[in-house]
């Protein structure tokens, strides 16, 4: 059974001074737990501030995006070695906002996942269907395609270093989270798809849920054995609600 992972995706929120305050508040409130990992994913420019503050804590650091190239003439991009040296352990790849607002494809996401792994960064690979796809009964086929292409040319053992984040697009930032039944059903399907494809133990795959997770709905979600944590947007911008969700996760770990 993988450890539970609670990730705060700050998106494009907080200046450096605001980030410093939020990280200090999280550190002050958080009681570490042996089987729950707490991680923050602030914007690039605040990563250094966060890394300095988190160095002596158990809270880990992720970036929200990464370039698939090591270095070169790629204006505005940030490479895996840069993030690694900064102290990032992980990186969110393929978030639906990156896919839908910035044109990322399953193919470009695959390149980023492979580049991240190559440099020792653990990808948090986001997949999820849009509302119209769910309504057309295409949820499984959409996710299967995202997984097949996004994880192409990888081996089963790479899954030890990848977390899958199931984030239905219709649940992100809408206040309308998936029900425990909906999330469990898709998590179980993802687990079965990956375990069959690589002939690996389905229980070793870490799959977290994202989309309007709050301190109010977290407990029900975490009671599902298929849900190994959460990727949190809005509710992670408040130290109390973020740490509360992590504490709720310890109850089921």
Residues belonging to the active site: 95, 167
Q: CA nearest 141: which of 179, 206, 209, 193?
A: 193
Under the criterion CB under 6 A, does residue 90 sit at the interface with ligand PGA? no
> Token pair for residue 38?
């707490």
The footprint of ligand PGA on this chain (CB under 6 A) covers a number of residues equal to: 13
Residue window 226-245: x/- pattern of binding to ligand PGA, with contact defined by CB under 6 A: -----xxxxx----------
Q: Which of 5, 6, 8, 9 binds ligand PGA (CB under 6 A)?
A: 9
Residue window 188-227: x/- pattern of binding to ligand PGA, with contact defined by CB under 6 A: ----------------------xxxx--------------
Q: How far apart are CA 207 and CA 243, in angstroms?
A: 20
108: Cα separation from own chain's centroid: 17
Under the criterion CB under 6 A, does residue 59 sit at the interface with ligand PGA? no
**127, β-bridge pairs:** 166
> Which stretch in 71-79, 155-163, 165-173, 191-199 sits in contact with ligand PGA by CB under 6 A?
165-173
Work out how close the CB of 49 gets to ligand PGA at its nearest, in angstroms, rounded to a whole number. 21
Residue whose beta carbon is closest to ligand PGA = 233
Q: How far apart are CA 54 and CA 87, in angstroms?
A: 9
Work out how close the CB of 237 gets to ligand PGA at its nearest, in angstroms, rounded to a whole number. 9
Residues that bind ligand PGA (CB under 6 A): 9, 167, 172-173, 210-213, 231-235
């Amino acid at each position: 059974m993988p450890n539970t992972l609670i990730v705060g995706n700050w998106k494009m929120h907080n200046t450096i001074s605001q980030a410093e305050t939020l990280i200090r508040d999280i550190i002050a409130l958080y009681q570490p737990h042996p089987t729950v990992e707490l991680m923050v994913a602030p914007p690039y420019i605040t990563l250094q501030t966060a890394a300095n503050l988190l160095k002596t804590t158990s809270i880990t650091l992720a970036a929200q995006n990464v370039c698939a190239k090591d270095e070169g003439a790629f204006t505005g991009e940030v490479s895996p070695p840069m993030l690694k040296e900064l102290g990032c352990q992980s990186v969110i790849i393929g978030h639906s906002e990156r896919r839908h607002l910035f044109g990322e494809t399953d193919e470009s996401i695959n390149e980023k996942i492979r580049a991240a792994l190559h440099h020792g960064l653990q990808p948090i690979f986001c997949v999820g269907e849009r509302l119209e796809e769910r309504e057309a009964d295409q949820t499984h086929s959409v996710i299967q395609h995202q997984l097949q292409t996004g994880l192409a040319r990888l081996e089963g053992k790479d899954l030890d270093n990848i977390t899958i984040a199931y984030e239905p697009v219709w649940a992100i930032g809408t206040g309308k989270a998936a029900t425990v039944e909906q999330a469990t059903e898709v998590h179980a399907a993802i687990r079965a798809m990956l375990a069959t494809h690589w002939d690996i133990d389905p229980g070793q795959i870490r799959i977290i849920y994202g989309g309007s997770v709050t301190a109010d709905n977290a407990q029900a979600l975490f009671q599902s054995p298929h849900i190994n944590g959460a990727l949190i947007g809005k509710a992670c911008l408040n130290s109390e609600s973020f740490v509360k969700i992590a504490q709720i996760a310890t109850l089921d770990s």
